Amino acid sequence: MGKKTLRDAEVKGKKVFVRVDFNVPIDKEGNVTDDTRIRAVLPTIEYLLVRGAAVILASHLGRPKGRPDERFTLRPVARRLGELLGREVRFAGDVVGPGAETAVGYLKPGDVLLLENVRFYPEEERNDPEFAAKLASLADLFVNDAFGAAHRAHASTTGIAAHLPAVAGFLMEKELETLGRLLADPKRPFVAVIGGAKISDKIGVLERLLERADLLLIGGGMANTFLAAQGYDLQASLVETDKLDVARTLLAKAGSGERVMLPVDLVAAPDRERPDERVTVPVDCIPAGWAALDIGAETLKLFEDKLRPARTVFWNGPVGLFEVPGFDAGTLGLAKAIAALDGTTIIGGGDTIAALKRAGVADRVSHVSTGGGASLKLLEGKELPGVAVLQDR
């Protein structure tokens, strides 16, 4: 990696502003229900504390639309982080202004402070220079460890770097190195599995993977559009009719042979609310007015057979409506199949992580990316704003 990291910075006695991604699920009782993203940055926080830094943490949570919203407060995250660190994590009720400045002023080496949700301020997503300068005034060094937000040019991910020395945290470093190797020199065969709802969200990454991967397996809602582009009647299924030509172009780029594999059977139902009425049918036999909501058993077996010899696998996106029991067999089966492989298995964040956890195999893959959107942008070959602003080695 060509960017400086924490190892290149002197942190003793300094106040270090660390942008993290604590965008985690919180239940109605105020409990963090999945702390994966919090645990992922513990190495960076602990490294700073051991070396005598005072740590100021900043994150977003949800989409509060630029104003305070108690539903998106980070206070529960501060509690959970304190439990994981085994020490007090102070909490500031704002991000800039007298309250934040006073809280930072009290910090001593070894202290940890979590600021309130940065998206409570409209200036954050606008990357407002004055707001970024106020953030920077709190600290001596900027560490970006929020890979999941690295594709956003916001004040706390990019603007702040105009005012402070900026380096990568350990999670950021790991993500960039792992995903960088995936494109630069993967062990082959390299199989990519892409699911999710829409082609439009992933055109660039599909094109790049067609260039780099030996085989592309496509499922989920986006497979419907590819199948429709081949002339199949998907009935009431999700199909991006304005992307049929894009699908045809991608298939043409793949050329002859089996470089792209689509479902051969699908689980269909009258609608998503009626999983008990589901049937598994060939792709050309969906009942009139019904929707395809999962890959079928034959498709899962076909995908498992194609994955078995793979030395490198990248997976992003569920291959069915896995959050609804009855339409989850394909995604959960795929998760177990990928987890059982001997090669390098890389999971591209988002709902795919939830699927791994539902299947009970999250600890059996090589790397779980904390950034779905960021990982796709990186694989697409796009420069991530939150990485570009870091100091070069």
* Domain parsing of the chain, residue ranges: 6-171, 178-379
Residues labelled as active-site residues: 37, 198, 350, 373
User: How many angstroms separate the CA atoms of 325 and 43, rounded?
Assistant: 36
How many residues in total does the chain contain? 393
**163 neighbors 132 (Cβ within 8 angstroms):** yes
Give 3's DSSP letter.
B
What's residue 263's pLDDT? Answer: 98
- Nearest-5° Cα angle at 234, 229 to 277: 155
User: In the CATH hierarchy, which top-level class contains the domain 178-379?
Assistant: alpha beta
Sequence-distant contacts of 31-39: CB under 8 A, at least 24 apart: 31/76, 31/80, 32/76, 32/77, 32/80, 34/354, 34/357, 35/80, 35/84, 36/353, 36/362, 36/368, 36/370, 37/148, 37/370, 38/77, 38/80, 38/81, 38/84, 39/84
User: How confident is the chain (393 residues) per 10-residue block, as mean pLDDT?
Assistant: 93 98 94 93 98 98 95 98 98 96 97 98 98 98 97 97 98 94 92 92 90 95 96 95 95 84 97 96 97 98 97 96 95 97 90 90 93 88 94 94
What's residue 126's pLDDT? Answer: 97
User: How many angstroms separate the CA atoms of 65 and 73, rounded?
Assistant: 13
* Same fold yes or no, 6-171 and 178-379: yes
What's residue 183's pLDDT? Answer: 85
Q: Output the CA–CA distances (angstroms, integers) from residue 193 to 217, 262, 295, 340, in the order listed.
A: 5, 11, 13, 15
User: How many angstroms separate the CA atoms of 32 and 77, rounded?
Assistant: 7
Q: Which residue carries 């409209």 as its tokens? A: 122
What tokens were used for 329? 């067999």
Asked if the 6-171 domain carries CATH number 2.40.10.480, the reply is: no
What tokens were used for 281? 């049918």
- 271-283 burial: b if 16+ Cβ within 10 Å, else e: eeeebeebebbeb
- Nearest-5° Cα angle at 370, 369 to 376: 65
**123 neighbors 112 (Cβ within 8 angstroms):** no
pTM score of the predicted model: 0.91
What tokens were used for 176? 């960039």
User: Coil, strand, or helix at residue 311?
Assistant: coil
What tokens were used for 34? 């999945």
